[in-house]
Every structure is written in structure tokens, then in C-alpha cells.
Amino acid sequence: MIKEYISKVNTIENQIRKERKSYGTLSFFRLVSFFSSVVMIIAGITDNNTIYLLAGIALLVAFIVLLRIHAKIDNRLTGLKARKEVVEGYIARLDGTWGSFPDNGSDFLLNDDTVSRDIDLLGPYSLYQFISLAHTEVGRRKLAETVSLRTISKDKISERYEAVEELSKKADFVEGFESISRRISKRKRRKELQYIEEKKYRLSAVVPFLMVLIPAVNILVITLAVLGLVSPNLILGAFALCLIFTMGCSNIRDKFMYPIHVLGYSSQDFYMLLKEISEEDFESGILKGIKEEVQGKEGLMSAIKKLSALGEADNISFNPLVHMILNGLFGWDMWLTFIAAGWNKKYSGAITKSVDIIGDVEELISLAVISILNKTSRPVVREVGESDVIVDARQIYHPLIGGGRAVANSVKIDHGTTVITGSNMSGKTTFLRTVAINMALAYMGAAVCAEKMELGFMKLFTSMRVMDDVAGGVSTFYAEILRIKEMAEYISDEENKEAPAACFIDEIFKGTNSADRIVGAENAIRKLSLGKGFVIVSTHDFELCELKEADGKEVTNYHFEEYYENDELKFDYKIKDGRCTTRNAKTLLRMAGLMD
């Protein structure tokens, strides 16, 4: 698969080289036409030569045409560069260098979101960083809310999975859609897109008056000058006066043109994204609904297309000299203001709706990345029964361990307590995270990294990366107590029966001495085992393997272990039934040169 993506990159690079060559040639002619027009216009005015003046105006028109063509080539170049970055992103995900992606979702990570930190849902080297194809602020926010499980709904898992599965089979659509949305991230003022207020203003009568007056005055003066009835110098005076009138109405213009200014070239990107949705055939309910919104009676596609054309005309204002000439000759800003007022009156709210729709698609295509790049399956999510196995996973593996390095395991997790023992570095913590992150994927409506996975719908709790708080006077041990207290309070609350707790605890109470740790762990585990869910604990304390739950039931034991080959310590990272019987701390200390 990685060779296929590398071949794509090479093809795109060849296309970029051709476009750059055209871009350079056109830049030269654009520069020549501009300076020639300036020279001819000045010569025509100073020498009272009408032919020079008309030739200068013709060259100015040619310059504007070349400017448009140049902009289109630049737009194609931007698109090709974005496409190349998208394909390189897939290569990075496959070769394990995706940790360098700049967007890891840390800005959405809440202080109290311990689950997202512990099982790498948000933040550096997280699921969000690995899968995110979202480049609009709304899309990024929606993906972060989904990945952190803030917006999950048990009733929507099935229909969301159908949408995500369909997208995973449309890799070309996903790649093309991200290529266009990635261009938006390169535009200025991207973050303002989610805060656009589409207000309705009343258009001043001054605008249509100046729209007619300014070009009429200029045509009249130029005609009289050509006929020799007035001095050509009067053309410059009329131009200056019209420019003053236009610039004096800039406050009116800004009110109507603000959304267009914020979007800029992105209005073209938004139209292209909506067009991608409109032209694709979908079967799943969610995607068909999105397509219907785009093609609906309200004319969303038409609205954004017209806005795109208006935005393209407005982009001329970024060239101050051309902008000044157009304003002085035609009252350019007044025409744009009039058109923008009409658009706002007819299509108010279209920008907000478009941004929201595009954000929804970005969130869904991001979840599809898991299946595009990995062997996955559809999880079966059901209600948690009284005696059922809560999690039944066959050949489950961690989605973030790439390059064929992930070791798959099969496991069944029952109600009550599961204790996992094992020597250092044998895979206990990774296994806990593997089960938890795949449970999270299932609840998001995504595929899971397993041959098969059946699970109950539960609320995830974790106690893994527990940190002390020096400023708050909270030790590591007490911080872990607070985490486990939160689990116990949730389990004891009668209102939480619909979503039982799934508690993952790594190295329980490692922040205190062994005697207190064992006593504390025994009592905590008994409390947590009272619920309808489960608690899975990793530990080095073999005493916990003999623990009995509150109802007298024995805990379930699994373990990981090391083996030796040619006097070298090795691990197979395979989970096994029963408790661990080996230790390797002394071996590791000797290997590090810290023990004889």
C-alpha cells in the first residue's frame, strides 16, 4: 500500500513542475502588460494623445485578464500541493512518522478529561492526531468531541458506522475531499470562519446612485476628450473625484463584504467541497441526508457558487493599484456592495450551514481512516446483560501501533474483576489501552481493529497516567485515590444503570508502599466489582490474584510473560490465562549496568 502512495506523490510532483513553468511564463507577461499600460496611459494624458490612451486602457484590460488566468494557475498549484500533503500524510501513517503532524487536538483536551489522556484519544501521539482529516475549525471541534466521547449516543452508533464504513470504501472521495479542505487551512483568518455573523443590513440609496454615476461620468469625460471637446487632463480629475466618492463609502461596503473578506479564496474551496458531496452517490442514511441538505430547495450549492464568484471579484482588492483603478473608473466597490446585499438578503445563513455540513463530513472521513489503512471489523454493541461476557474480542490490536508491529490478542472480559499480572515491559499497559481505545472506537461509530468484537455499551473510566499536583498539594497516590473514588461514586449511583462502568486501572496504587498498596487495592477492587460493569487491573502484586470480590466470586486472571533466547530477554506480548509466575526486574537492572 505504501508503494501505491509513493507513486501518487511522484505523479503529483510532475504536475506541480508543469504548472510552475506556466506560472512563471504568465508572471512575466503580466508584469510587461502592467508597466506598458501605465506608460501608455501617462503618455496619452501628458501628450494629449488619444491613441496612446486607448492603447493603455486596452493593455490594462489585458493585464486584468492575465491576472485572472494567473490566479487560476495559482489555485491549481495550491490544490496540487494540498493533494501531495494529503498523500504524504497516508505514507506517514503507514511508516509510523505521523507523530509529526502539527494538529494533535491538544487545544480541545479538557483538564478533567483523564480518559483522553490515559488512552491517547487527544494530545501528542493520539488517535485524533493519527486520523484527523479535518482542516476547518468546525470540523476539528466536531472530531475532537467525538473522539473524546463527549457527543456519543448509543442509539446512533449503527447508522454512524454505516456512514463511516461507506466512506472507507470511497478512498478517492476521502482523499479528494481532504485535499480541498486542507487548502482552507492554508488561508488567512481560518479561525474566523466559525464565528461569522451573517447580519442583515439595509442598503443605503447612495450605493446604487454611485454605481450609475461613477461609470457614467468617466464615459462622458473620456468621450468628450476623444472628440477633442475637453482636455484629456480632465479624465484624471474625474477619476480622482470618483475614487474619493467610492472610498468615502468604505464603511457601507465593509458591512456587507465582511463575510466575503473572511472567506476570501475559501469560498471557492467551500463550493468545491459541496460539489464533491453533491456529485457522489451515497447509500447510508447520514450521508444521503447530508447530500440532500446540499442539494435542497434552499439552494445551498447555488448560494455558495454565487458567493464564490463574488469572492473572486473581491480578491482584486488585494492588488491596491488595480483596486484603485477599478474604483475610480467604475465604482467597483459599490457594485460589489450592491451584489453582496442582494446575496445576503436571499441566502442569509448559507455560510454557517455550509461550514457545519463540511465539518460533519470531515469528522466522518477522519473516522474512516482507521479502515482505509487497517484490517478492521464491525463491532457489535449491545446492552450489558446480567451474566453475559461484556467484551469478547478476537485478535484485537492497537490502532496506533503501525508498521506491522502491533501484536493481536484474543480475550473475554466478564462482569466483576480481571487482574492482569506480568513482568516489566511485557505488554500489560498496552493491552489495557488496546481494549479501551477499541471500545472507544466502537462507541464513536467507527470500525475496530479486531477480527471480531462484541461489547456492551459502557462509560469508560481510567487510572493510568496519574500525575501529582505540586501546586495543589496532591500527591500521585492521592490523585489515584481521587480517580478511583470517581469510579466508585459512579458505580454506586442508581441513575447510571444504562451505561455501566468499564474501569481500567494500571499498576493500582503504585504511589505507596507495598503493604498499604495491597490492602488498599483489595478494598478498592471489592467496591468497584459491585457494579454491572467490570474493572480490569494490571499489577505486579501477585497477592491480588487470590482476591475475592464482594460476592465471594474469584477474580479472573490473565498474564503476560517474558522468555529468554541466547541469554537475551524477549517478549511475545501474548496474553495468557492464569497468573504470572516470573519476574524480570533484576535482569533489566543488570542489563542497564545497575546491578552485578
Question: What is the predicted pLDDT for the residue at 360?
Answer: 96
Question: What is the predicted pLDDT for the residue at 416?
Answer: 87
Question: What is the predicted pLDDT for the residue at 12?
Answer: 92
Q: What backbone torsions phi and psi does residue 222 show, to the nearest 5 degrees?
A: -65, -40
CA 397 to CA 90: how far, in whole Å? Answer: 20
Distances (CA, A) of 555 to 385, 417, 506, 544: 19, 5, 16, 9
The neighbour count for residue 495, using CB atoms within 10 Å, is 6
Cell reading at 222: 473620456
CA 342 to CA 202: how far, in whole Å? Answer: 10
Question: What is the predicted pLDDT for the residue at 50?
Answer: 76
Question: What is the predicted pLDDT for the residue at 370?
Answer: 95
Q: What backbone torsions phi and psi does residue 325 show, to the nearest 5 degrees?
A: -65, -45
Q: Which residues contact 531 (CB under 8 A, 6 or more apart)?
A: 491, 492, 500, 501
pLDDT tens digits, 30-72: 888 888 888 887 887 777 777 887 888 888 888 878 877 887 8
The neighbour count for residue 95, using CB atoms within 10 Å, is 12
pLDDT at 196 over 70: no
The SS3 call for residue 553 is: coil
The string of DSSP letters for 306-330 reads HHHHHHHHHGGGGSHHHHHHHHHHH
CA-wise closest residue to 459 among 25, 114, 16: 114
The SS3 call for residue 490 is: helix
Greater confidence (421 vs 259) lies with 421
Distances (CA, A) of 288 to 28, 162, 163, 275, 443: 48, 11, 9, 14, 22
pLDDT tens digits, 323-375: 888 888 888 888 888 888 888 888 877 888 888 999 999 999 999 999 999 99
CB-CB contact of 449 with 374 (8 Å): yes
Q: What's the rounded mean pLDDT across residues 380-385?
A: 88
Question: What is the predicted pLDDT for the residue at 219?
Answer: 87
Question: What is the predicted pLDDT for the residue at 282?
Answer: 96
When pLDDT is cut at 50, 70 and 90, the band that residue 192 belongs to is very low
CA 379 to CA 390: how far, in whole Å? Answer: 13
Q: What backbone torsions phi and psi does residue 333 show, to the nearest 5 degrees?
A: -65, -35
When pLDDT is cut at 50, 70 and 90, the band that residue 189 belongs to is very low
Question: What is the predicted pLDDT for the residue at 588?
Answer: 46
Mean pLDDT, all residues of the chain: 85
CA 357 to CA 292: how far, in whole Å? Answer: 11
The neighbour count for residue 576, using CB atoms within 10 Å, is 14
- Chain centroid offset of residue 384 CA: 33
pLDDT tens digits, 502-532: 999 998 887 676 677 788 888 888 888 887 8
The owner of cell 473524546 is 148
Question: What is the predicted pLDDT for the residue at 298?
Answer: 63
Distances (CA, A) of 45 to 13, 56, 236, 271, 514: 48, 10, 8, 43, 95
Partners of 392 in the β-ladder: 412, 454
CB-CB contact of 213 with 226 (8 Å): no
pLDDT at 114 over 50: yes
Listed in order, strand segments (DSSP E) in 383-423 are: 391-396, 409-413, 416-422
Q: What backbone torsions phi and psi does residue 210 show, to the nearest 5 degrees?
A: -70, -30
Partners of 537 in the β-ladder: 419, 505
Q: Poorest-confidence range of 210-219, 262-271, 301-310, 565-574?
A: 262-271
Report angle CA 439, 442, 444 to the nearest 5 degrees: 110
Question: What is the predicted pLDDT for the residue at 468?
Answer: 63
Percent of the chain with pLDDT over 90: 38
Question: What is the predicted pLDDT for the residue at 200?
Answer: 64
